[in-house]
Structure 1
């Protein structure tokens, strides 16, 4: 290998009681930048975490050649330094802490003004990051803020960032470390169209600054600056090829599948449904946090059986709007909002609202506890709790298993949520939303992290549910091709206002 940067030779990788890789060999030379592709669960994220030093590696040998070179050029910075300081991993989940650093954030915290003050601001968080090397570094705070378009967010608390804004901040924080190796796990998920379009140019600049990039991504979202592709299958690197000969269509799964419509119909018609005049009725809704107005004079009526796409760039106010419907935002009481024919503030509880709604969002995935089995997670949807805190009921467990079968994840039924691939975790939370056969489904970027087959299968499931039932749907995505065919109406937000 000419000019080696990283060499992994014939190692076994374990995590907990699981063997993730056997006889793993993967070599990277200077000037190479890699994309990792493959089906969900094939080992892409595990390979990134292996390189980052998160897992137990036995046998064989791992050499971090870039660290040896760093020590030669920065002898004064070497005291107590390890190769881990020169690696930055951007994962699908963030690991932000409260200002007191005593506990993690919780799901509704972003909507409660007094609690959200315990979070660092974007500026404070970036100031807390220190690179391994000393002065004259390419990536400084002003540079990452400009590159990642964070200027308007500098004084915003971390907990109040949208999913896409959080993604940009995590990448900015990684660049501030000025690493030798930047590992990106599906970095485009959650980013709006404009940011995704700028991403390829951003990768060009990152690589030009001397950073080597390895990213797990879709075959159809590989930046131009990537030079090599590794295809993973069942925990093995089965192909390595140069970008110049790579054809994404050769690595796309057959997405044709069959859905058991009779089983779905039985699940959807288990209980009679109430009738409503309005599912949602909002009149001149305004939401403000201090000087920042998040929603401005929003009017929206959703009738029973309507299927809506809620669209807009990162930070447009979509999540805040959904929080008013889902009962998580206390400012709903200060606005003219009708949910399921009842005016907010006339005596209905949050739980009265939640039992009518099946809800999935990236934030829910971020904060959902992972120590339940997948069956328990799905059964918790009956109670709208983040986890199952009561004994399982056999009939409800049986229904949970049927939904797992419909979503092709039943093999994980007895496995802890934390021990399955992130894409399968998301499908479990989708099953949790569907299990009580709610009157309203809210799917906020539900396909994040899924491979092409899972996305197509889920889209087909949603279309079939809409065909077999009169469920009302709100669907949020940044990818036009993910929107189900059953969606016929669109509400678009921009800077908190409804636009045509």
Structure 2
């Protein structure tokens, strides 16, 4: 009989004033690896956080059987808590600067002097190394090879792409040599090549004796998974062995409806009457940090009303290219770049640029303050600020709420951003990008973490917006099926260069 690693028995789990689970029961045995699936907000992340000890258990109990065994064998003081033997990889990182006193900020990666205050990948991994007295299986050398970090060891962590950051987070968690590794949507942000190799990565982790629990989509369950738990509205509604699991029974709602008349009305509120001959024109753009060339001889012209997909693997230069358009990268002034018919450096401010762009990206989500309500976050889109720092406007708040309804998130209007599911946070930032009706929309991996229905609804919404308006669109994704049907032009990057 397999030994239990962890068991939860009829637990009541609370966070702040909310009850997350009532009568929760769940157990993991040695040799088992679990996938948690379910719609957005069903409780997958909350279950991982519960196991990690982040929430209060006010009824029932949770027992870490691996801890009982380890504590009986350990010298006094060697093992302090069971949570030290668990690693959780969350959607957002918690990197600190060299002084360990100040959080990173959104534009820091593009400002060379400020980015020097960041650890390198090698520094971060060395700091995460297992500190126990026993010899560790997972070493810096092993995790660097497994997660393809060898070529990034000297790179500052603030300059990593979204996918590179995710690989580093997984590598750092392995260096704890945990008994239990928990992954919250680990494939988010990873390019096609890394996703294809993920099965082998997880297989090697499991082969080292680590048990795995991962929140994921029903469409992306690695071969090493032995069991599946389906969650719905804060309850485990189904458990089975992987060979008995029928994913088609648990796919999201495939029906969708777009309120076209309402969307058309929203798109004409405060609509700009300005017209442009060029949205973007880049000629021989070159971006370099030290000896590292990030963009090499990029030529790109975007005309009004065009819809582009910007594609390429992690680290290919996509985010840097977008930062030149969005006004976040000071190296734009040293290059031949025209935005909205004006050459960069001819008197326009960063705010003149941003007011014409609706922008969302994984990095914006990472660094966006979370202490505003979701409605306030969306209203801040009128001012291009990271949060609402002025008294709210009743008129603007009403329009923001209408955009929330269009994106099916109005139930979160008065809830703080930090207290809603990650997918709802991203949808709030998408509404923030749309609320001012800008002539250019830049959506960088907008569907990260969304369930099937949310992805379908957002894709249909974008296509409807493109049909009803002359908006220009740049869309970035690692998933071909996410690209809206309205997109008909492609720019592909690889190692900082355009490729056919």
Which range, TM-score by smaller chain? over 0.9
- Aligned 8 A contact 2:129 2:140 in 1: no
Match of 2:307 in 1: 307
- Aligned 8 A contact 1:77 1:132 in 2: no
Q: Once structures 1 and 2 are overlaid, which stretch shifts more, 402-411 or 64-73?
A: 64-73
| Paired residues for 1:130-279 under 5 Å | 130-131=129-130, 133-270=132-269, 271-279=271-279
Match of 1:30 in 2: 30
Shift of 1:168: 0.1
**Tell me, what secondary structure is at the counterpart of 2:379?**
helix
CA distance in 1 between counterparts of 2:203 and 2:72 reads 27
**Tell me, what secondary structure is at the counterpart of 2:135?**
coil
- Aligned 8 A contact 2:129 2:139 in 1: no
Match of 2:373 in 1: 373
CA distance in 1 between counterparts of 2:179 and 2:305 reads 53
**Tell me, what secondary structure is at the counterpart of 1:460?**
helix
- Aligned 8 A contact 2:378 2:432 in 1: yes
**Tell me, what secondary structure is at the counterpart of 2:170?**
helix
| Paired residues for 1:375-390 under 5 Å | 375-390=375-390
- Aligned 8 A contact 1:12 1:58 in 2: yes
Q: Is 1:82 the counterpart of 2:88 in the alignment?
A: no
Match of 2:348 in 1: 348
Unaligned regions of 5+ residues in structure 1, if any?
none
Match of 2:60 in 1: 60
- Aligned 8 A contact 2:71 2:79 in 1: no
Shift of 1:80: 5.0
**Tell me, what secondary structure is at the counterpart of 2:475?**
strand
**Tell me, what secondary structure is at the counterpart of 1:250?**
helix
Match of 1:97 in 2: 96
CA distance in 2 between counterparts of 1:4 and 1:165 reads 34
Unaligned regions of 5+ residues in structure 2, if any?
none
| Paired residues for 1:292-331 under 5 Å | 292-331=292-331
Instruction: Report Cα offsets for 1:311-355 as digits up to 9, x if no partner.
Output: 000000000000000000000000000000000000000000000
Count of residues paired in the alignment: 499
Shift of 1:133: 3.3
| Paired residues for 1:343-422 under 5 Å | 343-422=343-422
What is the TM-score of this pair, normalised by structure 2?
A: 0.98
What is the TM-score of this pair, normalised by structure 1?
A: 0.98
Match of 1:464 in 2: 464
Shift of 1:71: 3.2
CA distance in 2 between counterparts of 1:155 and 1:272 reads 46
- Aligned 8 A contact 1:71 1:78 in 2: no
CA distance in 2 between counterparts of 1:26 and 1:97 reads 34
Shift of 1:135: 3.9
Instruction: Report Cα offsets for 1:427-463 as digits up to 9, x if no partner.
Output: 0000000000000000000000100000000000000
Match of 1:437 in 2: 437
CA distance in 1 between counterparts of 2:412 and 2:153 reads 41
